[in-house]
Amino acid sequence: MKIVKSDRPGYKAKAGANGTELRYWIPARAIKAAPIDLSDVASRVIPSDAPMKTVNALCTAWTQELFDELLTIPVNSEFDPRIEFDGTIASLISCYRRDPSSPYQGLKHTTRQRDYEPSLRMIEKHVGERAIGALRGSDFKRWYENWLKRGQRTAHGAIRKVRAILSYGVAEKLPGCQEAREILAVMKFAAPKPRKVALTYEWAQAIVTEAMQRGAYSLALTQALQWDSGLRRIHIIGEWQPGADGSGGVIRGGSRWVGPTVADIDADGVFRPSNISGNKAAPAHDLSGYPMVQSVLAKMALPKFGPLIVNENTGLPYWNREYTKLWRTIAREVGVPDDVWSMDTRAGAVTEVEEALGISIAGKFAGHSNPRTTLGYVRDDGVKVSRLVADARRKMRES
């Protein structure tokens, strides 16, 4: 299964009866070798007056959404990976994804989509045609060096996924996998350094202001909640999970949305986030004392019921990719560097609390049971501590 390489995958235009151009996004044109017949999936109409930049963005977003949903289709319980394995990296990845006994099936949905799938797709694209039985250590070294151009975190993550798929192949006795895995086992690759950047209050406020000016109040509220509460984004916007079984809820294709609703804010303004994907339940937060959140709520009306955060463009909760793409667009507009991410809001919030009230309170604020976990979020180079220590020692000598 592959997304058709194009600026606007799935796009089709034809002349209408009155001479106007009719535009469509057609799923079967967007993705090749899908596990189901995409001719049964409804096409989407694209406004005839939309500029081509918008057409490109719509086709790309809709295609990626469909691709993500296709990955959630249940596999055949009688699937035999040996039938489709042809000795290449791409076929091994296909088996790894679809075999019911594969470790891939035990991963959380968020782990698959945010960690594994980006790496697996990159591996498929770059080295999918390589024969596993012919691989040498120099091949792995060259792959890693090429992937380093995308950043050490990306390169290291890809190598970890190569190890994972080869380990699966060894367990299934697929030809060539054991020797390749043994070669990789004796090789070492530099791990990415811990992140040292954090979103600042000034940047968070600028993003909120810009988002509201654009009419993206849902993103403004999410950013404000992240900063004031230190919550993870998933506890605010929720997530789309596979398993639309017809029993109700918010459904989009084959996925069901799970996340916080308006009902999670009580009459006193206390927000108790939903427990998502098996994560530890987040702490409750009194929104009445959060100035950035209140500045957004003063200019928007929350939905009367249903999901707390709803994308104004779709009327549905955000897909993670939808949110991060819009967030980055706004962040760039207000001068936030590309190496600072939406997820770094939590680090900025926890750092500010630690500076004001100490590590113990910061840990409770973040919902951590271990202070070492909290320290991992604190972006402090030690200068502030050294100044406090020097000041305290000077005052002790003077007393």
Q: Could you write out the three-class secondary structure of 73-112?
A: CCCCCCCCHHHHCCCEHHHHHHHHHHCCCCHHHHCCHHHH
Tell me the two tokens of residue 295. Answer: 């500045």
Average pLDDT over residues 58-78: 74
Tokens 């043994």 found at? 182
Residue 382's pLDDT is 47
Top-confidence range, 104-118, 257-271, 341-355: 257-271
Share of the chain above pLDDT 90, in %: 49
Residue 282's pLDDT is 72
Position 47 pLDDT exceeds 50? yes
Residue type, 2: K
Average pLDDT over residues 356-364: 70
60 with 71: CB under 8 angstroms? no
Residue 379's pLDDT is 55
Pairing between strand 11-15 and 31-32? unpaired
Position 391 pLDDT exceeds 90? no
25 with 10: CB under 8 angstroms? yes
Report the SS3 class of residue 169. helix
Q: ∠ CA 7-12-13 to the nearest 5 degrees?
A: 115
Contacts of 35 (CB under 8 A, 6+ apart): 1, 70, 73
Q: In what order do the strands lie in the sheet with 44-46?
A: 11-15, 21-25, 44-46
Tell me the two tokens of residue 360. Answer: 């113990």
Higher pLDDT, 324 or 390: 324
Q: If residue 141 lies in a helix (H) or strand (E), which one and from where to where?
A: helix 137-147
Residue 389's pLDDT is 47
First to last CA, the chain: 74
Number of Cβ within a 10 Å radius of residue 359: 16
Top-confidence range, 65-69, 74-78, 380-384: 65-69
Residue type, 137: G
Q: Range with the lowest mean pLDDT among 209-213, 281-285, 297-301, 358-362?
A: 358-362
Tell how far CA 213 is from the center of its chain. 25
Residue 96's pLDDT is 95
pLDDT in tens, 107-132: 988 788 889 999 999 999 999 999 99
Residue type, 154: T
Beta bridge partners of 257: 240
CA distance 301 to 128: 49
Position 86 pLDDT exceeds 60? yes
Average pLDDT, the chain: 85
Q: How confident is the model at residue 340 (pLDDT cuts 50, 70, 90)?
A: very high
CA distance 161 to 326: 28
Contacts of 378 (CB under 8 A, 6+ apart): 347, 350, 351, 354, 359, 362
Average pLDDT over residues 91-100: 93
Tell me the two tokens of residue 355. Answer: 């500076």
How many distinct helices (H) and strands (E) make up the chain? 18, 10
Residue 202's pLDDT is 95
Position 298 pLDDT exceeds 90? yes
55 with 46: CB under 8 angstroms? yes
CA distance 94 to 85: 8
Q: If residue 229 lies in a helix (H) or strand (E), which one and from where to where?
A: helix 217-229
pLDDT in tens, 184-225: 999 999 888 878 889 999 999 999 999 999 999 999 999 999
Residue 369's pLDDT is 62
